[in-house]
């Protein structure tokens, strides 16, 4: 039985352990920006020897960020490409590869291989879009207070980045959470202060 020195993570490990009959276990980590999703994903990856797939690599290209697309809850995530390049291949063969979308250059990077594993961690906002969540075995949602979120984003990126998040990314995330009633009953909810997110 896997044990964590942090008791707040133990419910996640317990749920993984309960999936004895599964040859492949998908873990999703969602929550507001700044709540510590990437930090938690890496901690679990080290414990479970699991690859991490970052939803940030599946933002839609700038040309597709139309007002119509962004009005769809979660529409700024390229879920279609995620399903095609990552989720469906993993479900079929246990392996996949994809090219991350690089927002700063509006281009795709070098291919990232996802090796065969027993556990796979999908990390980031929009990792519980319905088309993804229906295949996930362990749903983890990080909570954070608005005050702590503001402080972390400010510390991470400065005033300009905070203003950008408040104007665009936080409202889009909140619309997504509201539309799909997240966190829902499937979710293991963990306070984002379990670790000082970077």
Q: Is 154 domain-assigned? A: yes
CATH code for the domain in which residue 156 is found? 3.40.50.300
**Other CB atoms within 10 Å distance of the CB of residue 8:** 15
Rg of the Cα atoms in the chain: 16
pTM of the model: 0.94
| pLDDT tens per residue, range 70-120 | 999 999 999 999 999 999 999 999 999 999 999 999 999 999 999 999 999
- The runs of H, that is alpha helices, within 9-145 are 10-18, 37-48, 67-70, 79-82, 88-93, 130-133
Listed residue (103, 140, 106, 102) closest to 123, CA to CA:
140
Residue 36 lies in domain: 22-192
Q: Is 29 domain-assigned? A: yes
| pLDDT tens per residue, range 3-41 | 877 788 899 999 999 999 999 999 999 999 999 999 999
């Amino acid at each position: 039985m896997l044990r964590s020195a942090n008791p707040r993570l133990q419910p996640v490990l317990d749920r993984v352990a309960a999936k004895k009959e599964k040859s492949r276990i998908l873990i999703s980590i969602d929550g507001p920006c700044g709540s510590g999703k990437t930090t938690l994903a890496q901690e679990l990856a080290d414990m479970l020897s699991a690859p991490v797939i970052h939803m940030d690599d599946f933002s839609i290209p700038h040309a597709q960020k139309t007002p119509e697309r962004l009005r769809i809850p979660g529409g700024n995530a390229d879920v279609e490409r995620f399903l095609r390049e990552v989720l469906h291949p993993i479900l079929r063969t246990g392996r996949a590869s994809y090219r991350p979308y690089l927002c700063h250059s509006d281009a795709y990077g070098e291919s990232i291989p996802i090796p065969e594993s027993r556990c796979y961690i999908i990390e980031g906002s929009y990792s519980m879009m319905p088309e993804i969540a229906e295949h996930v075995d362990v749903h983890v949602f990080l909570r954070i207070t608005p005050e702590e979120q503001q402080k972390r984003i400010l510390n991470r990126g400065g005033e300009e980045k905070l203003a950008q998040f408040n104007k665009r990314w936080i409202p889009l995330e909140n619309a997504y959470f509201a539309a799909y009633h997240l966190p829902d009953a499937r979710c293991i909810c963990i306070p984002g202060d379990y670790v000082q997110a970077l």
